[in-house]
Amino acid sequence: MKNRIFGIETEYGLIFIPHGKVYLPMEKILGYVFEGLIPNSWPSNAFLCNGARFYQDTGCHPEYATPECDQVFDVVVHDKAGERLLEKSLPIAQKKLKEEGLAGNIFIYKNNTDSMGNTYGCHENYLMRRDIDFWKVTEQLIPFFVTRQIYTGSGKVLNISGRSHFFISQRAQHIHEKTSSSTTSSRSIINTRDEPHADAEKYRRLHIIIGDSNMSEYATYLKVGATALILSMIESGFRVPGIELEDPVKAMREISRDPTLKKKIRLEKGKELTAIQVQRLYLERVKKYLASEEEDPISSDILERWEYVLDELEDDPMRLDREIDWVTKKGLIDSYMEKEGCGLDDPRVGMIDLQYHDISRDRGLYYLLCKEGLTERIATESDVIKALEFPPQTTRAKVRGDFVRFAKEKNRSYTVDWTYLKLNGYWEETILCMDPFSSENVRVKELIAAAGNQK
């Protein structure tokens, strides 16, 4: 697989259920969560020792942005580490709540919608070449993003016109345009914000806001991996001809509403295909592209899993209950409705829908399935625990993580962003880090070495 930087930004849902009549504003609850993770840092955002960023996003959501990764596996591991970090903050947040004489429970969910119909995102980032025509790239990618929800969707029970339906994707109903620079008022399939956090003459950032947050590591691996392969294919001059959709937003919603995956969507030239058929067109084209490249095990593994999932979806989607979030959730809901003799509009079904995304491994339904060995994992728990403390060792995130750890150990005030590191106060210095592929910085090494010699 071609060298590329990936990252995922996840906005989490936050709920406080009081024991009594005292209800706290969500800003206060979020403060407790921040205090549990980054003592004395509220309300500022913070970069962590693992190179990631944790901060408050619009709508009072805690947001975790993974460090820069150049391996799909690392994206999966560091995305999961974000869940663990927030889970670790909960006991401390609950303790702070109690110390102030308040009673209640705090819940954090890795989902994309709340009970009021609001949505919050899971944004993917891919560094891409600046010299490639961005608009031609988006035209090639939009049909892929519209249809990939069949294996990346997290599933959602929604009430439409007085009736409850099961949808494949949580985000599909909240996307209104093909492309846009906004992430809130006019959400789009592809966001056009051009913030590469790197040399702007060489790179730009492909910012994708259509995706669901995934509990399944398998779904995250396939989501990022297949996208990266297609982007590399396009950058190498390969195209999927005649793939443009007549109405991408309409197609996306129609696919989401059909868990049977039989719905056909209309292409610009009048042909109609199912989402699986569109995905197969991309799959076959990627196969031809990879045949012209040097073989590598990661690309082969992604390709094999992608084809396996499409085959299973076409034959019987419910066989993917170990791998794909919407299938797993639908299986839980169908089993419960059959047992209890209820329908989708039953409030208890709504709770199953929500509890699937609880990041607490003692409460969340996804994690209860994990404990029973009923989910397919990509990483081990030891991989995730390591990612709580250490960044990927092959990207700029290593430099940032080393710097943050050094500054904390020396009790030095510091300022950090994606592209620079700064020690504040006496001997103040700003170190630029514009190359996201570089895991070393001479000045940072000198600072750490000098500090070591002073011991």
CB 86 within 8 A of CB 108: yes
Please tell me the distance from the alpha carbon of residue 407 to that of residue 401, in angstroms, as a whole number.
Answer: 10
Q: In angstroms, rounded to a whole number, what is the distance separating the alpha carbons of residues 234 and 140?
A: 8
CA atoms in the 13 A half-sphere facing the CB of 115: 7
Q: How far apart are CA 237 and CA 292, in angstroms?
A: 12
User: Rounded CA gap, 54 and 37, in Å?
Assistant: 9
Contact call for residues 18 and 9 (beta carbons, < 8 A) = no
User: Is 57 assigned a catalytic role?
Assistant: yes
Catalytic residue among 57, 70, 358, 402: 57
Residue 111, CB half-sphere, CA atoms under 13 Å: how many?
Answer: 30
Distance CA 34, CA 27 (A): 10
Nearest by Cα to 451 from 420, 417, 427:
427
Nearest to 153 by CA among 445, 452, 353, 384: 353
**Which residue is associated with the tokens 């846009």?**
180
**Distant-in-sequence, close-in-space partners of 304: CB < 8 Å, separation ≥ 6:** none
At residue 238's C-alpha, the angle toward residues 235 and 244, to 5°, is: 100
The residues assigned a catalytic role are 57
